[in-house]
Amino acid sequence: MKVKIYHNSRCSKSRQTLDILKSKNCDIEIIEYLKTPMALKELKSVLNKLNYEPRDLIRKGEDIYKKENLSNTSLSNDFLMEKMILNPILIERPIVVFNDKAVIGRPPEKVLEII
């Protein structure tokens, strides 16, 4: 089974989620999304599989979130997605995608719901 993980190796939850995938002998595609940001089409696909709106996937504790006033509810989804692509640190992690489903690995065991 081919599983995709949007991974940040500096994040303990991301590392733990990756370890779970490895323990299940998954065929893993690791995407270091901070080094290789998502394209808009890819971000929209992930959001759709998560059944999330862009705001649901944003890390609200990041400095850029506060600096850019992204808590402003009048900001459009398109604007938020653009900010996420330009500043991938804003994207919650890890995201695991398998077939037409996706989940955030928080807690890491949540990945077991889709594999």
**If you write DSSP's letter for every residue of 80-113 in order, what string do you get?**
HHHHHHH-GGGB-S-EEEETTEEEE-SSGGGGGG
Tens digits of residue pLDDT in 21-55: 999 999 999 999 999 999 999 999 999 999 999 99
Q: How confident is residue 1, by pLDDT bands cut at 50, 70 and 90? A: low
Cβ-proximal residues to 68 (8 Å cutoff; 6+ apart), any chain: 83
pLDDT of residue 22: 97
Residues 6+ apart with CB under 8 A from 110: 103, 104
CATH code for the domain in which residue 46 is found: 3.40.30.10
Domain count, the chain: 1
Can you tell me the distance from the alpha carbon of 20 to that of 1, in angstroms, rounded to the nearest whole number?
14
| Catalytic hit among 6, 11, 31, 92 | 11
Q: Look at the pTM and tell me if it is higher than 0.85.
A: yes
Q: Answer yes or no: 11 catalytic.
A: yes
Q: Which domain holds residue 80?
A: 2-113
